[in-house]
């Protein structure tokens, strides 16, 4: 039996798929692609497809997809904790807090030690408040922040309370720092990296991020999106 192939019974009963989100795809792009493939294959006008836990376009890894009645479970999965592996670059900032936009400020790295870096990471563990990135899907007055940011409009960002279970520095080769992060729901890793830079009186932005676990769903369970599409056309 082909574990990737969706059946009519799956559509009726509901199915959860764990996708390894490709780089430069939005989470909504993945949902749209899966919905489009299934609508065409089963000749249906409407099929419910949704996702739990948005991943930024520049991030890859575990994206939980619900099909049919299984979309009702997504709210529960949305609240799950997440585990990431990432790479940040110290000494500069970007407006989007990642590589989607160009560097806007640069900072000297003189005097920054490994001890300072590890101490800064430990200071974020626990309940913290963070602002969403100016370039994000959070809505304000009916428009997404990234739409307002691209229009050059200033927005008042409201802080949110999130939980950081662990923030481990894995490798330091300045200006790059490799890290592992275990975080609660609603955490913006880009914002955490940006705030990390500020903690060192410097700047930092995210250059790579991979989600390796979302709740009980792991990367080992994830399917390649393009392989899934090929099996369901």
Per-residue pLDDT tens over the stretch 78-101: 999 999 999 999 999 999 999 999
pLDDT at 4: 86
Residue 120 clears pLDDT 50, i.e. is over it:
yes
On the question of pLDDT at 147 being above 80, the answer is no
Query: Beta 15-21 vs 223-224: how paired, if at all?
Result: parallel
Q: Which two tokens mark 24?
A: 């430069």
Q: pTM for this structure?
A: 0.90
Question: Active site includes 224?
Answer: no
Angle CA 82–84–85, to nearest 5: 170
User: What's the mean pLDDT in 176-202?
Assistant: 97
Name the catalytic one among 56, 102, 176, 195.
Answer: 56
Return the pLDDT at 134: 80
| Per-residue pLDDT tens digits for 9-22 | 999 999 999 999 99
* pLDDT tens digits for range 50-65: 999 899 999 999 999 9
Long-range contacts of 38-47 (CB under 8 A, 24+ apart): 38/6, 38/11, 38/67, 38/232, 40/233, 41/232, 41/233, 42/8, 42/11, 44/11, 47/11
Q: Write down all domains in the chain, each with its CATH number in brackets.
A: 8-78+216-231 (3.30.2350.10), 82-214 (3.30.2350.10)
């Amino acid at each position: 039996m082909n574990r990737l192939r969706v059946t009519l019974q799956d559509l009726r009963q509901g199915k959860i798929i764990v996708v390894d989100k490709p780089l430069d795809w939005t989470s909504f792009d993945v949902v749209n692609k899966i919905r489009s493939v299934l609508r065409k294959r089963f000749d249906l006008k409407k099929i419910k497809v949704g996702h739990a836990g948005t991943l930024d376009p520049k991030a890859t890894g575990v994206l939980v997809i619900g099909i049919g009645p299984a979309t009702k479970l997504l709210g529960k999965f949305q609240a799950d904790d997440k585990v990431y592996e990432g790479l940040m670059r110290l000494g500069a900032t970007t407006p989007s807090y990642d590589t989607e936009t160009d560097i806007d400020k640069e900072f000297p790295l003189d005097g920054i030690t490994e001890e300072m870096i590890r101490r800064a990471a430990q200071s974020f563990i626990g309940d913290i408040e963070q602002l969403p990135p100016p370039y994000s899907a959070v809505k304000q007055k009916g428009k997404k922040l990234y739409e307002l940011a691209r229009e050059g409009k200033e927005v008042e960002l409201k802080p949110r309370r999130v939980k950081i279970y662990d923030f481990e520095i894995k490798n330091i080769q300045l200006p790059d720092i490799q890290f592992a992060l275990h975080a609660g729901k609603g955490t913006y890793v880009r914002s955490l990296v940006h705030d990390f830079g500020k903690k060192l009186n410097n700047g930092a932005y995210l250059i790579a991020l991979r989600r390796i676990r979302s709740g009980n769903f792991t990367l080992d369970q994830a399917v390649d999106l393009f392989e899934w599409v090929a099996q369901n056309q």
